[in-house]
Amino acid sequence: MAQETEFLKFIKLLDNNGCLSHVILVGSWAEFLYDKANLLPKFVSNLRTLDVDFMVKNIHKPKEKIDIVKLARDDGFLVEKDRLFGTTKIINPEGLEIEFIIAKRGAGSEASVKTNLGVTAQSLRHLDILSKYTKIVEFFNMDIEVPLPEAFVIHKIIINNERKDKKEKDKISINGIYQHIDKTKFNEIYETLTLKEQKIVTEYVDKNMEID
């Protein structure tokens, strides 16, 4: 499909310039890789939007700054800066919108952070869950880091109440993946959450899912 070709084009750009190992693919395109890389046998990813989200692992890495914005422009992508938060949006004229996020830590109040990858990432809470539990999957001979599906589900559950219009879409995604994940791993990650986060997950599971 055209959008997959375009997705691949951007992944190759990151890979060719030593950026791919500094980001984690999150969002609906991570689900796409769970399916394509056979990370969850029998799981079929069926709802994929045209926004591609990458989580920057560390604002200070790589040590030598890379300018993804320039590289993307040179490769025919359009680049925009979000007016409200100043975050970078890399746009593929065929229709993909690529954005970057980063974990908000401590009392951090800033909505966005400049990174050594040359992009300004949106700073969000609860992303540590995604970056602590990851797996590298091979896709077209490239190593792409994605959150473990168990962490992906837990993260989506925790942020579900904040998702407004995307709440129901996320529920479909959570329920679709939940049936295929390793419940032992799920419980293992659950144990590492804060009490507040555990309460959110327990309430969600009780309300929306059948417990094995």
Partner 1 sequence: MSVLMNVLKEEYERSKRIVKSIDKELSILPIGYISKKQIGGHIYYYIQFKENGKIKSKYINEKDALEYNKKVLRRRKLLKNRKELLMDQKRIERVLR
Instruction: Mark the segment that binds partner 1 (CB under 8 A) among 43-51, 101-109, 175-183, 185-193.
Output: 43-51
Torsion sign, CA atoms 24, 30, 33, 34:
positive
Residues 6+ apart with CB under 8 A from 193: 129, 154, 158, 201
Instruction: Give the pair of three-digit tokens for residue 5.
Output: 């070709």
Q: Can you read off the two tokens belonging to residue 195?
A: 């009490």
Identify the residue among 18, 44, 46, 51 touching partner 1 (CB under 8 A). Answer: 51
Stretch that binds partner 1, among 47-55, 108-116, 138-146, 191-199 (CB under 8 A): 47-55
Q: Kindly indicate which of the ranges 56-64, 133-141, 167-175, 198-206 contains the residues binding partner 1, using the contact rule CB under 8 A.
A: 167-175
Site for partner 1 in 87-146 (CB under 8 A): 91, 93-95, 97
The three-class DSSP label of residue 80 is strand
Q: For the beta carbon of residue 208, count every other beta carbon within 10 angstroms.
A: 13
Q: Smallest distance, Å, CB 3 to partner 1?
A: 11
Q: Is 4 in the site for partner 1 (CB under 8 A)?
A: no
Per-residue binder mask for partner 1 (CB under 8 A), 57-76, x = binder: -------------------x
Q: Measured in whole angstroms, how far is the alpha carbon of residue 103 from the centre of its chain?
A: 11
Helix (H, G, I), strand (E, B) or coil at 189: helix
Contact footprint for partner 1 (CB under 8 A): 47, 49-51, 76, 78, 80, 91, 93-95, 97, 165-166, 168-169, 172
